[in-house]
Structure 1
Amino acid sequence: MTRDPIDKLLDDATSGKSLFKNREVLHFTFIPNMVLHREEEQKIVTQSLIPLLKKARPSNLLIYGKPGTGKTLVVKKVLDKIQERVKDGSFPIQLLYANAKEETTLYGLLVKFGRQLGLTSQKELPTTGLSISEVFNRLMAVIQNNGLNTVFVVDEIDYLAELVSKSGKDVFYSLTRANERLKKGSLTLIGISNDLTFKERLDPRVLSSLSEEEIVFTNYTVNQINEILTDRIKEAFVPNIVEPAALNLCSAMSGQEHGDARRAIDLLRVAGEIAEREQSDTVKEDHIRRASLKMEEDKETTALNSYPLHEKLLILAVMKANGSTTGEIYQSYKNLCKVTRQKELTQRRVTQMLSEIEMTGLISGKIIHQGMHGRTKKFALTLNPDTVKKAFKEDLSLEDLV
């Protein structure tokens, strides 16, 4: 008699039979005891923040490197170590962290820092309604009144540049000049960026203050990723679960493509989950390959679902008028607006939106020269139309269009 697969899965879960020993080790927030292959970078970040232990203000610091090169991991580990040493409170230090990519507005980013500074009530710092300058003034007041020596860590700081451009308020200038107005306490800024050209978009006055010290994190090699994964496997999985061939494939796929250790760790976790669901005794090469396909599809679906309705309509317009000019896409977009009973946006705004979506890589644009008629730009979808249809099918406003 064949055993019910549901019962087997539930029995294995309740009896503790799992391929995993500790899944958290494969989560991006996990900080290992030893950060492998980043000894020099840890040393530089630590040295730049040592003035805090000597009751002085450190220099502002900019950290560059592609995704998955250990930037955030190293900074968080150094900050944790410093925080452990200043528990006595004789020199009050407040270490704050926010990811600019997770905030849709500059206001929201500043409020996140304010909450960490202790402005927890709506009265002290409302989630909407104040000017950017007033929010900033309230943060400065807390720092000064308590004599706090603060470190603001802004992860993916290149997104903050976008928030600044949208709001027209140059908070970079205010942050880098904050110490000139503080009579007590201090503010140090640590910026972490995936974009090596990020500085080119900054005001020269800001740049001189912001980049007092800089570090570039290089990509991991295949061998380094292999060692990082081997270290995580020891803590994350039951012994002898991940086959050597699967480990090597996972390392090779991540190392050769982009040197991204975070993606390699995610890939290993998803492969483990697939293997566990299938009640496999080990994680095999095939699980790694299937995990890679699943992650790519999930990433695209998440990106598509994150767009507001009009951006979704525009992506559908590009899909339906594939390889067409901006004008033709706009006509297709207007037709979709009629079907969904939406008020259409202007062609100028739609052209801006096309450029913004193009930056994400979901669509690509190509300039076409038309001789005496000048130039035009044609757009095409870069992903499979079925992925778009699958992502938008759950949106009730779009169900008749896909």
Structure 2
Amino acid sequence: MEEKMDPEMSVTTLDPIDRMLDAAESGKSLIKNRNILHFTYIPNVIHHRDSEQEKVTQSLLPILKQSRPSNLLVYGKPGTGKTLVVRKVLSKIQERVEKSNFPIKLIYANSKDETTLYGLLVSLGRQLNLSEKELPSTGLAISEVFKRLLKNIEDEKINAIFVVDEIDYLAQLVSKTGKDILYQLTRANERIKSGSLTLVGISNDLTFKETLDPRVISSLGEEEVVFTNYSVEQLNKILEERIREAFLDDSIEESALNLCAAMAGREHGDARRAIDLLRVAGEMAEREQAKKVTEKHIREASQKIEENKEITALKSYPLHEKLLIIAVMKANGASTGEIYSAYKDLCKIIRQKELTQRRVTQMLSEIEMSGIITGRIVHQGIHGRTKKFKLTIPTDMVKQTFSDDLSLEDII
């Protein structure tokens, strides 16, 4: 005799959407506050950064005494708390200046969020309340944009602190445009009769100053604060605090917490990566409707984050960088000259004018910095040295990611 199934039961037990919605409605969740696991969250207590908080605060204190602070440069590897500390200090200063009549503007921009130097300066201008009419989004010379920013500061008698995160990326934009904007930013007060401008640069690259003009170095690094890497023990403490605030009690196995701290500690003591791992692992455990986050979830989260990071990087490249990556893929382990030859062939197929070999060599170095490709110097005896490149990611990932780009469909 055939057993009849209750139609309502079949929907709730078999339909994957209803099953997940039922679980959400019944409160089967491990994470109680996802915002705490986001990189923009500023905790009340920043662990293991008391000294750095004191130094940044000390550097910016003059603004509370109605005088201009020195330009400040903050260094450290990614995930060492640089942006967190600077933003917390700024928010504390903001609370206090709102009670005074001294006109202060605290402005934040990330160089990587803008594809051009022009865009970065316009972003700063918008935060100074300059309208589209006063500062158009396109069409002016860089020098004119900068002049209008300074005029606004002077006319409004504003004491501005420009915080430029990932300023090392801005240095790359500067070299491409040939404009000495960093020097102008650091010496802006010489052109302002009233008000002031202080530059706070945050850099992931401890060596980026070496590429700058000595004049910029002396004026940009009037004061410096270096953030050291977190140890595994420190990461463990940071994660414990986030878990207590973000997750339900007893939702994470201790071994999973230890693994998460160890994996992030192995990669330069990166707290942001540790918190990302925790968040993604928690989401994976919830989807499985698991009772706890385990080591397995941490390992799976690590793999997923790496894949997502690489795919995002591949999608963000302009056309000629994509062509270069394809050239490296097709001529894996080839020299710079061989890759340039393969790149020119690809340009002919899709009817693009090729760039110069000098520019292509520069682009290869920039792509190498992202970790998508890797290069090694090979000595060739009397023929000197050459650099050979190869992909660090699966070729299928490149093909699949670039397959959406119609201009590349004839060569993928």
- Class of the TM-score when normalised by the shorter of the 2 chains: over 0.9
Matched residue, 2:159 = 149
Matched residue, 1:316 = 326
Matched residue, 2:191 = 181
Between the aligned partners of 2:358 and 2:215, the Cα distance in structure 1 is 32
Between the aligned partners of 1:349 and 1:183, the Cα distance in structure 2 is 42
Change (3 A) 1:251 1:374: closer
Matched residue, 2:85 = 74
What's the secondary structure of 2:161's corresponding residue?
A: strand
Q: CA deviation at 1:196?
A: 0.8
Change (3 A) 1:328 1:198: closer
Q: CA deviation at 1:374?
A: 3.8
2:72 maps to which of 26, 43, 61? 61
Between the aligned partners of 2:214 and 2:159, the Cα distance in structure 1 is 26
2:25 maps to which of 2, 11, 14? 14
Mean Cα deviation higher: 32-41 or 383-392: 383-392
Between the aligned partners of 2:117 and 2:361, the Cα distance in structure 1 is 24
Aligned length in residues: 401
Matched residue, 1:133 = 143
Q: CA deviation at 1:89?
A: 4.1
Task: Determine if the alignment matches structure 1 residue 43 to structure 2 residue 54.
Answer: yes
2:34 maps to which of 2, 8, 23? 23
Matched residue, 1:32 = 43
What amino acid does structure 2 have at the position aligned with 1:290? E
Matched residue, 2:4 = none
What's the secondary structure of 2:406's corresponding residue?
A: coil
Mean Cα deviation higher: 342-351 or 144-153: 342-351
Q: CA deviation at 1:15?
A: 4.2
RMSD of the TM alignment (CA)?
Answer: 1.7
Between the aligned partners of 2:361 and 2:77, the Cα distance in structure 1 is 29
Q: Give % identity.
A: 71
Between the aligned partners of 1:377 and 1:40, the Cα distance in structure 2 is 43
Mean Cα deviation higher: 71-80 or 126-135: 126-135
Mean Cα deviation higher: 374-383 or 204-213: 374-383
Question: Which aligned pairs between 1:271-350 and structure 2 lie closer than 5 A?
Answer: 271-350=281-360
Mean Cα deviation higher: 340-349 or 32-41: 340-349
Mean Cα deviation higher: 237-246 or 365-374: 365-374
Matched residue, 1:108 = 119
Q: CA deviation at 1:355?
A: 2.7
Between the aligned partners of 2:159 and 2:356, the Cα distance in structure 1 is 48
Matched residue, 1:362 = 372
What amino acid does structure 1 have at the position aligned with 2:39? F
Matched residue, 1:209 = 219
Between the aligned partners of 1:321 and 1:184, the Cα distance in structure 2 is 59
Matched residue, 1:258 = 268
Show CA shifts across 1:339-383 (max 9, x none).
Answer: 434343344433332233223222222333333444433221222
What's the secondary structure of 1:88's corresponding residue?
A: coil
Question: Which aligned pairs between 1:363-402 and structure 2 lie closer than 5 A?
Answer: 363-402=373-412
Between the aligned partners of 2:307 and 2:385, the Cα distance in structure 1 is 35
Kindly indicate whether the alpha-carbon contact (under 8 Å) linking 2:378 and 2:388 is maintained by their aligned counterparts in 1. Answer: yes
Between the aligned partners of 1:349 and 1:212, the Cα distance in structure 2 is 34
Change (3 A) 1:196 1:349: closer
User: With structure 2 as the length reference, what TM-score do the two structures score?
Assistant: 0.93
Between the aligned partners of 1:396 and 1:130, the Cα distance in structure 2 is 32
Show CA shifts across 1:193-220 (max 9, x none).
Answer: 1111122122111211111111110001
Between the aligned partners of 1:345 and 1:61, the Cα distance in structure 2 is 38
Q: CA deviation at 1:400?
A: 4.5
Task: Determine if the alignment matches structure 1 residue 224 to structure 2 residue 253.
Answer: no
Kindly indicate whether the alpha-carbon contact (under 8 Å) linking 2:28 and 2:289 is maintained by their aligned counterparts in 1. Answer: no
Q: CA deviation at 1:97?
A: 0.4
Structure 2: stretches of 5+ with no match in the other structure = 1-8
Change (3 A) 1:164 1:238: same
Q: CA deviation at 1:256?
A: 2.5
Mean Cα deviation higher: 370-379 or 3-12: 370-379
Between the aligned partners of 1:337 and 1:198, the Cα distance in structure 2 is 33
Change (3 A) 1:325 1:194: same
Between the aligned partners of 1:222 and 1:140, the Cα distance in structure 2 is 45
Between the aligned partners of 2:283 and 2:175, the Cα distance in structure 1 is 41
What amino acid does structure 1 have at the position aligned with 2:73? L
Change (3 A) 1:203 1:332: closer
What's the secondary structure of 1:397's corresponding residue?
A: helix
Mean Cα deviation higher: 297-306 or 260-269: 297-306
